[in-house]
Amino acid sequence: MSNLPRPLSDRQMAFLLAMLVAVMPFSVDAYLPALPQIAQDLRADIHYIEKSLGSFILGVAFGQLLGGSLADIKGRKNLAVAGLTVYMLGSAGLVLVQTAPQLLLLRVVQAVGAGMASVVVGAVVRDNYQGREAAQMFALIGIIMMAAPSLAPMIGAGLQTLGGWRLVFVFLLAYAALVCALLVRFLPKHKTAEPFTRDILRVVLARYRNVLATRPALGFLCFQAASFSSMLVFLTESPFVYMQLYGLTPHQYAWAFAGNIGMMALFNRTTAWRLRRGSPPESILLTGIAVQLSANTALAAMTWGGALPSAAGLLACAMVSVGTQGFVVANTQALFMEFFRENGGSANALLLATASLAGAGAALLATTLHNGTAQVMGGMMLACTVSGLALLSLLSPQVWRRG
């Protein structure tokens, strides 16, 4: 009898890939409610501990760039398993961490593994789906994985209450082990691994050069990076703004955070519904841009208005802004990947790594500019959206004709 896994249905494949993608939001969101406690236990300033978010995203970018082309050479499944192994080693170290610098370093190790593993998802979709079908698959993955970022802060807050913040990293280690086991058992192999050759670096760089030379695709890359940066600014500043300025408890913060994910799920479902009805991805993307620009403009106006804005108004604008990822991600990814039939792994790696690098830079800049108010959050989120819109219009003007 054959030991090969049976072919997965579209929904089964989406569920498996969503579990893999969910490693990222679990890694980012589960420890956010515990940041003040981590800072206290490690005897460090909370803004130094907040840098662990930026360092994590920076490590993710490196892992994505490393894993993208290697996935084209060694195969999607092999890279995903290798990445999760690195992630588990970093997670085990974080359970035992004793100082803030160790926290930042081990978060980078953890992130490199997460980046290597998660980068294969877009390539797997590109291997099996095209055009509107690919956008629908990305949207389905997004719908399924929405449980992760909505539950992660609640899980983190609960684990912190139950056994302290170190228990959060125990959870991340166990989750990665589960996903790794499922991938080994059920993810079909894309190809037989090729051997490494002397000119491996030249081959890898050539793949990335080919992607970067495709100018009409780059506007989608830039806007996804800008939109992700807007969300990363929110993630970096929201623990301070919500828990320090507005006095929310970790559990209240988790519920407020869940509102962002609820809005994202609503917009993601809207994306899937419109795609099924034949709307082009360009049209849905432009809807998301308009909504995000409006929300971030209102958020910037409120935070720069002098007095501390009402909690309800600030939370509502933040929810809508973060929620627009449900409009943006599936469509920018599908529109970008349309251009790359042969170098799907490298293209997807560059798309994700660019977003990660831009997001890490925005997060670190937010901690540097932090002035004890909500102004940095509002102003930077608007700046990210405006710059992304400008680059999209410059590099991929076809989006306006097709949308």
pLDDT digits (tens, 9 = 90+) for 229-243: 999 999 889 988 998
Taking the C-alpha atoms of residue 371 and residue 124, their distance in angstroms, rounded to an integer, is 43
Does residue 90 have a pLDDT over 80?
A: yes
Taking the C-alpha atoms of residue 141 and residue 99, their distance in angstroms, rounded to an integer, is 37
User: Residues 145-161: what's their mean pLDDT?
Assistant: 82
Q: pTM above 0.85?
A: no
Higher-confidence residue of 203 and 44: namely 44
* Residue 32: DSSP 8-state: G
Taking the C-alpha atoms of residue 114 and residue 112, their distance in angstroms, rounded to an integer, is 5
Taking the C-alpha atoms of residue 115 and residue 107, their distance in angstroms, rounded to an integer, is 12
Taking the C-alpha atoms of residue 128 and residue 158, their distance in angstroms, rounded to an integer, is 39
Tell which residue, 234, 170, 221, 200, has the closest CA to residue 366. 234
Give tens-digit pLDDT for 248-290. 988 898 888 888 888 988 998 898 889 888 889 999 999 999 9
Give tens-digit pLDDT for 205-222. 887 888 899 999 999 999
User: Residues 342-353: what's their mean pLDDT?
Assistant: 78
CATH class of 10-402: mainly alpha
Where does the pLDDT of residue 33 fall: very low under 50, low under 70, confident under 90, or very high at 90 and above? confident
* Residue 99: DSSP 8-state: S
Amino acid letter, residue 97: V
Give me the pLDDT at residue 217, please.
93
Give me the pLDDT at residue 198, please.
64
List C-alpha distances in Å: 361 to 13, 71, 108, 355, 374: 33, 26, 14, 10, 19
Taking the C-alpha atoms of residue 119 and residue 105, their distance in angstroms, rounded to an integer, is 21
- Enumerate the domain spans of the chain: 10-402
Does residue 5 have a pLDDT over 70?
A: no
Average pLDDT, the chain: 86
Give me the pLDDT at residue 32, please.
83
Instruction: Read off φ and ψ for residue 309, nearest 5 degrees.
Output: -65, 165
Give me the pLDDT at residue 118, please.
86
Taking the C-alpha atoms of residue 214 and residue 208, their distance in angstroms, rounded to an integer, is 10
Tell which residue, 86, 72, 83, has the closest CA to residue 116. 83
Where does the pLDDT of residue 139 fall: very low under 50, low under 70, confident under 90, or very high at 90 and above? confident
DSSP 253-278: HHHHHHHHHHHHHHHHHHHHHHHHTT
Where is mean pLDDT largest: 19-33, 65-79, 135-149?
19-33
